[in-house]
Amino acid sequence: MQYETPPQTDPAQLGWRASPRWATVKRQPSTRAVKKDPEAKFKAAQAKAEKLGVHTLTEQDIAGLSPAQITQIRGY
């Protein structure tokens, strides 16, 4: 038994087109935009360094700290 193949139609003829809703990505406001207290960030980095070691600190952990604070965390 052989089936008849339907004729190929162009999607544009059917009225299909990309939805403008999908054309742009709507970004949600970042929850990271809230600035922390610099002293709280220093204490958090200091606690992490004492608990896990200085080598585990990431760039995000020390971003915004003063050179004096970083020196203190390192224990120089």
Domain count, the chain: 1
Kindly state whether residue 19 falls inside one of the protein's structural domains.
Answer: no
CA distances to 12, 23, 35, 74 from 46, rounded to whole Å, are: 61, 45, 18, 9
- Can you give the pTM of this predicted structure? 0.52
What phi and psi values does residue 47 have, to the nearest 5 degrees?
-65, -40
DSSP three-state, residue 61: helix
Kindly state whether residue 59 falls inside one of the protein's structural domains.
Answer: yes
Specify whether the CB–CB gap between 62 and 45 falls below 8 A: yes
Kindly state whether residue 64 falls inside one of the protein's structural domains.
Answer: yes
Kindly state whether residue 5 falls inside one of the protein's structural domains.
Answer: no
pLDDT tens, N- to C-terminus, the chain (76 residues): 677 777 776 666 666 566 666 556 667 766 665 566 889 999 999 999 999 999 999 999 999 999 999 999 998 8
The CA distance from 61 to 14, in Å, is 55
Kindly state whether residue 37 falls inside one of the protein's structural domains.
Answer: yes
